[in-house]
């Protein structure tokens, strides 16, 4: 089992289970943050599996990544709108 | 090849290639948005593969999802801070 870096400034190494596989995650984030991320990925994979039970694990995981990146971009748009509003308010 | 829903209000169905596999994505997002999401997932998988060449596709994709959910949560924290700042300024 290899170790995978969540960020460059290494600190914590914790083991998490995602969809029946063990992953060793290395990063400066807290253990609880890493566990939350892992459980969100696990949940999403199970959710997509319920909708498409014929998909293999690789495809499930790719579609989970697609969903996560989609959510990320939507949130980024929201953030940019707020930043602009804040700029206007601050003059 | 199945179809995977990016959002509930279906509109566009487009085919994208991620890490050598074809996926049919259904959603109300624009074609360019879906293509951007797919290319970001593809890029991240190739980046993680460069760091850990021994990983299989499923693990690469799971770690890509882990990274995307991590980025999402960090952005969400940032958004919440901005929302609070905005509330104070308006309040």
The reported pLDDT for the residue numbered A27 is 81
Chain B interface mutation, best of A7, A28, A68, A73, highest count of B Cβ atoms under 10 Å? A68
The answer to whether the Cβ–Cβ distance between A71 and B72 falls below 8 Å is yes
Q: Tell me the three-class secondary structure of B37-91, residue by residue.
A: HHHHHHHHHHHHHHHCCCCCHHHHHHHHHHHHHHHHHHHHHHHHHHHHHHHHHHC
Pick the residue from chain A with its C-alpha nearest to B80.
Answer: A79
Q: Beta-carbon neighbour count of residue A48 at 10 Å?
A: 21
What's the pLDDT tens digit per position in A11-35?
Answer: 778 999 999 999 988 888 889 999 9
Using alpha carbons, select from B4, B18, B23 the residue that is nearest to residue A52. B4
Distance of alpha carbon A13 from alpha carbon B78, whole angstroms = 25
ipTM comes to: 0.85
The reported pLDDT for the residue numbered A10 is 52
B3: left (phi over 0), alpha (psi -120 to 50) or beta: beta
β-sheet bridge partners, residue B3 = B24
Domain region containing B69: 3-90
What's the pLDDT tens digit per position in A42-90?
Answer: 999 999 999 999 999 999 999 999 999 999 999 999 999 999 998 998 8
- Interchain CB contact of A15 with B (< 8 Å): no
Distance of alpha carbon A69 from alpha carbon A5, whole angstroms = 18
Taken in order A24, A26, A27, A29, is the CA torsion positive or negative? positive
For residue B1, pLDDT over 90 is answered with no
How many domains are there within chain A? 1
The answer to whether the Cβ–Cβ distance between B44 and A37 falls below 8 Å is no
Distance of alpha carbon B6 from alpha carbon B83, whole angstroms = 26
The reported pLDDT for the residue numbered A6 is 57
- Interchain CB contact of B26 with A (< 8 Å): no
């Amino acid at each position: 089992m290899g170790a995978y870096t969540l960020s460059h400034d290494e600190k914590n190494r914790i083991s998490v289970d995602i969809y029946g596989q063990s992953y060793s995650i290395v990063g400066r984030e807290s253990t609880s943050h890493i566990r939350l991320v892992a459980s969100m990925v696990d949940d999403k994979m199970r959710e997509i599996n319920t909708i498409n039970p014929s998909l293999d694990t690789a495809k499930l995981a790719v579609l989970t990544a697609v969903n996560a990146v989609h959510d990320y971009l939507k949130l980024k748009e929201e953030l940019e709108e707020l930043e602009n509003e804040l700029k206007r308010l601050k003059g």
